[in-house]
Structure 1
Amino acid sequence: MANEGIKFTDEKCFTQAQVERLFLSVGWVSGKYPERLYKALMGSSMVFSAWDGDRLVGLVRVLDDTSMMAYVHYVLVDPEYQGQGIAGHMVEMVKQRYADYFYIEVMPEESKNAAFYQKHGFEIMSDGVAMQICNG
């Protein structure tokens, strides 16, 4: 947990170029569509971000219904900054912000990431199944 010097915010103060760089740094295909990605983030209910000076090094996107359910959609940290507790800190910010909601949900796209979320209090749904339509 050596994230000294990292600043966290819920202000959407990032630029399209900063978002593109961060998403491409982790190899996410959405980084190849910077205009759509930026628009999606700006339209999101909440975005928590982590900064090293003016460098965007981490981001969590949350979609919510304003009362009952919050869905954590993205959790990503620049590979050069991984292992410093940045993602965990941002997830804890989400839990704090949405503490009065009935549900905070996440769908890790890779099952290997389930342990990270379990460490932060998430439980695997006993009868849940992930589903999607991909129009891309």
Structure 2
Amino acid sequence: MKIRYTWEKIFTQAQVESLFLSVDWISGRYPERLYKALMHSSAVLTAWDDDKLVGLARVLDDSEMLAQIHYLLVEPSYHGQGIASQLIEMIKEKYQDYFYIEGMPEDKANVPFYVKHGFTVMENGAAIQICNLGDKSKL
């Protein structure tokens, strides 16, 4: 199996809905909003197995100094194949001239993955958020 990666936003609403629901992310329950958000994002990097969307990373950037990785997900049946690592490395390459590339893993268990790829935990940093969803589980 050869995974193909692209920065082109060639995915459909149904494809992103399916991918996000495969990892039980609440965003998948709002496919129209999710699709619109992705289409208006600074950059979306996707991973494909033929015509199946199997991984996605979204980056929001200010065009010069800061790039924030907001989504990084891989369909569970494709875990362990290095897809997430490839997505991260491609993001690091694209944004290598920015002062900062930041991420905010929603699960602390994912921090070692990012550290393995050169990220450091901000010593005095803290994640902050306002959640305007009624169902705050699985954000």
TM-score range, shorter chain: over 0.9
Runs of 4+ in structure 1 deviating by more than 6 angstroms, as ranges, are none
1:14 to 11, 16, 21: 11
Q: Secondary structure at the match of 2:36?
A: helix
Residue 87 of structure 1 pairs with residue 84 of structure 2 = yes
Residue 131 of structure 1 pairs with residue 128 of structure 2 = yes
C-alpha displacement of 1:125: 0.3
C-alpha displacement of 1:130: 0.6
* TM-score w.r.t. length of structure 1: 0.97
Match of 2:115 in 1: 118
Distance 1:83 1:53 in 2: 18
The alignment of Structure 1 onto Structure 2 pairs a total of residues equal to 133
Residue 45 of structure 1 pairs with residue 42 of structure 2 = yes
Distance 1:108 1:29 in 2: 15
1:76 to 73, 76, 84: 73
Identity %: 64
Equivalent AA in structure 1 for residue 88 of structure 2: V
C-alpha displacement of 1:75: 0.3
Equivalent AA in structure 2 for residue 130 of structure 1: A
C-alpha displacement of 1:131: 0.5
Distance 1:110 1:81 in 2: 19
Distance 2:30 2:84 in 1: 23
* TM-score w.r.t. length of structure 2: 0.95
